[in-house]
């Protein structure tokens, strides 16, 4: 898919494709990078309490990573998913 096609996908679809590809290919670097940006994305999407909780609890952060394609959080993470999927067109 080209960037325009990726841009047209909903955040949930971008999340599913990127995470599925990363898990299937053992791309722990991407998954770790995703975990690191989730607190900032939550703060940017208006979930400041969630952001504070994530910084103190890794289990909460992992749980958030599973659902990181939904709602405002998914929208805040769209650029991360698009960039990753652009680098991996077979995802």
Per residue in 42-81, pLDDT (tens digit) is 888 887 666 555 555 666 666 777 777 888 888 888 999 9
Asked if residue 34 has pLDDT above 60, the reply is: yes
Share of the chain above pLDDT 90, in %: 37
> How far apart are alpha carbons 22 and 62 in whole angstroms?
15
> How far apart are alpha carbons 40 and 30 in whole angstroms?
16
**Claim: this prediction has a pTM higher than 0.85:** no
User: Looking at residue 74, what is its pLDDT?
Assistant: 86
């Amino acid at each position: 898919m080209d960037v325009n096609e990726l841009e047209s996908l909903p955040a949930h679809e971008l999340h599913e494709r990127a995470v599925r590809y990363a898990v299937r290919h053992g791309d722990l670097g991407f998954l770790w990078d995703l975990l690191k940006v989730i607190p900032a994305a939550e703060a940017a999407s208006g979930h400041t309490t969630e952001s504070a909780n994530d910084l103190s609890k890794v289990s909460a952060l992992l749980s958030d990573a599973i659902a990181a394609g939904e709602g405002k959080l998914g929208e805040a993470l769209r650029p991360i998913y698009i960039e990753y999927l652009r680098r991996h067109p077979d995802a």
